[in-house]
Structure 1
């Protein structure tokens, strides 16, 4: 399958919608589960991470051209490793949940933030140096994400980093007994952490779904090179 044929069939919007779908599934599983224990939290995250990693790998193969695949490949590797780690029974503990999710959120968040920032910077108008060819005139802009896609990557990357920082602020041994009428229980740190991850998944699902369904501006035609003009 050629890059041109793949680009006609699969676009960035399809990647965003696939990621939004898996994030929404994770949100539903956490929201409608009365058990917010470490076992449930790690299990949900593991399935979400492995499915999302497959989306990243498919995007690197079918959507992005050479030169723009590194964010998807790196995020796919990190996310797949995090999902596989979550599938290990000894790591389905409170400490395991915090360690896996925080590490994944910070690393993938930094990768996606850097990719989005670089994409926006590459599209920023600037004065060309002597002898430098405009990147939009020789075919290389194919390796640069459009402004909207770069902005979406930047936002999602920042949200992921915020997830990691928020989980770091939750004490793992926190326990607060409560009683509401005839209902008694204990609010624990892992309950809060799993809820925070569910909230993160909900935000990402809504944001990526809106981004995926938003209309794209038509790509500007590239300026012909000197040889083509001749």
Structure 2
């Protein structure tokens, strides 16, 4: 497939992973530097990320060859539905946040991992599809494994203010995990983009 046009290219060119890396990194940084790790922030941030990512997946899926197109487009549709669901009800709380993100992560992670396995010997990006898929599916499993009533008290000694204490609740923990996943995903996709963009050396045989 040619990567000259359109702007978002096919999923195994360098443009698509770079376009996916940007919203992931933005989501991770917003969560990292926000003091509010509530489910509302998680739903709003995930919703925007998912809608933008869905646009990238759908555009790149339309440019893909027939063997890859179906699963990429399905991944884009599922991502769009999850993003819209998160944005429609940002006040849904933890009981809404967990199933939206976990269902999306498990389904789309499995779809991407399947493409990675199918084309592991035929496409340069297949190994990265597999890694991204497994990483995303693991996010979904972690969301399901953390109890929604989780609460862990902490106390940290501070020289200036004495002892600082608080409680890490399930929404704080899960939104933090979402942010960490987004940064890891964004960095990995950026590396993929630059590795696919770099020209590959052509081997030449020297006759004796």
Query: TM tier, shorter chain?
Result: 0.7 to 0.9
Deviation at 1:66, TM superposition (A): 2.5
Q: Does 1:183 align with 2:164?
A: yes
Equivalence map 1:1-230=2 (5 Å): 7-9=3-5, 10-11=9-10, 12-62=13-63, 64-89=64-89, 92-120=92-120, 123=122, 146=123, 148-181=124-157, 182-214=163-195, 215=198, 217=200
> How big is each residue's C-alpha offset from its partner over 1:142-170, in whole Å with a ceiling of 9 and x where there is no partner?
xxxx2x20111011001011111112221
Q: Is the 8 A contact 1:85 1:91 kept in 2?
A: no
Matches of 1:218 and 1:208 in 2, distance apart?
A: 22
Structure exhibiting the larger radius of gyration computed from Cα positions: 1
Deviation at 1:218, TM superposition (A): 7.5
Closer/same/farther in 2, CA of residues 82 and 16 from structure 1, 3 Å limit: same
Q: Is the 8 A contact 2:43 2:90 kept in 1?
A: no
TM-score by length of 1: 0.77
Runs of 4+ in 1 over 6 A off after TM superposition: none
Paired positions, count: 190
Q: Is the 8 A contact 1:46 1:82 kept in 2?
A: yes
Q: Could you say which residue in structure 1 is the equivalent of 2:205?
A: none
Matches of 1:15 and 1:218 in 2, distance apart?
A: 22
Deviation at 1:90, TM superposition (A): 6.7
Deviation at 1:92, TM superposition (A): 2.6
Deviation at 1:93, TM superposition (A): 0.8
- RMSD (Å), alpha carbons: 1.9
TM-score by length of 2: 0.85
Gaps of 5+ in 1: 124-145, 220-230
> How big is each residue's C-alpha offset from its partner over 1:185-206, in whole Å with a ceiling of 9 and x where there is no partner?
2110111111111111011111
Q: Is the 8 A contact 1:109 1:156 kept in 2?
A: yes
